Amino acid sequence: MADRLNGTRILILETREEAQFSKLLAEQGADVVQCPMFTIVDAPDPAPVEAWIRRAIDRPFDDLVLMTGEGLRRIMKLARARGLDQAMVASLARSRKFTRGPKPGKALREIALEAQQTTEKPTTEGVIEMLGRLDLKGHRLGLQLYPDKDHSALTGALSAQGAEVDTVLPYVYDSKAADANIITAIDDMAEGRIDSIALTNLGQVRRLIEAARAHGSEAKLRAGLERTLIASVGPAVSGELAAHGLRTDVSPADEAFFMRPLISAMASALAERKAGRAAR
Which pLDDT tens digit goes with each residue over 98-126? 999 888 999 999 999 999 999 987 789 99
Q: What is the pLDDT of residue 71?
A: 96
* pLDDT at residue 56 tops 90: yes
Alpha helices in 82-201 (DSSP H): 85-93, 102-109, 124-131, 152-160, 179-190
Q: Please compute the mean of the pLDDT values over residues 85-89 and round it to a whole number.
A: 98
Give yes or no for a contact between 39 and 27, defined as CB atoms under 8 angstroms apart. no
Counting residues of the chain whose pLDDT is more than 90, the rounded percentage is 65
| Listed range (70-79, 157-166, 215-224, 262-271) with the worst mean pLDDT | 262-271
* pLDDT at residue 170 tops 90: yes
CA distance 176 to 87: 36
Class of domain 41-173 (CATH, top level)? alpha beta
Q: Which residue has the higher pLDDT, 86 or 258?
A: 86
What are 123-128's contacts with CB under 8 Å, separation 24+? 124/67, 124/100, 124/149, 124/151, 124/153, 124/154, 126/100, 126/101, 127/65, 127/67, 127/98, 127/100, 127/154, 128/153, 128/154, 128/157
Report, at the CATH architecture level, how domain 9-38+175-279 is classified: 3-Layer(aba) Sandwich (3.40)
Q: Which residue has the higher pLDDT, 272 or 230?
A: 230
* pLDDT at residue 241 tops 90: yes
Which distant-in-sequence residues (6+ apart) come within 8 Å of 189 by Cβ? 11, 197, 221, 224, 225, 227, 228
Task: Name the DSSP class of 245.
Answer: T
* pLDDT at residue 257 tops 60: no
Query: Is the overall model pTM greater than 0.95, yes or no?
Result: no
Mean pLDDT of the chain: 91
Q: Please compute the mean of the pLDDT values over residues 150-160 and round it to a whole number.
A: 95
In which residue ranges of the chain is CATH 3.40.50.10090 found? 9-38+175-279, 41-173
Q: What is the pLDDT of residue 255?
A: 58
| Listed range (20-34, 75-89, 188-202, 211-225) with the worst mean pLDDT | 20-34
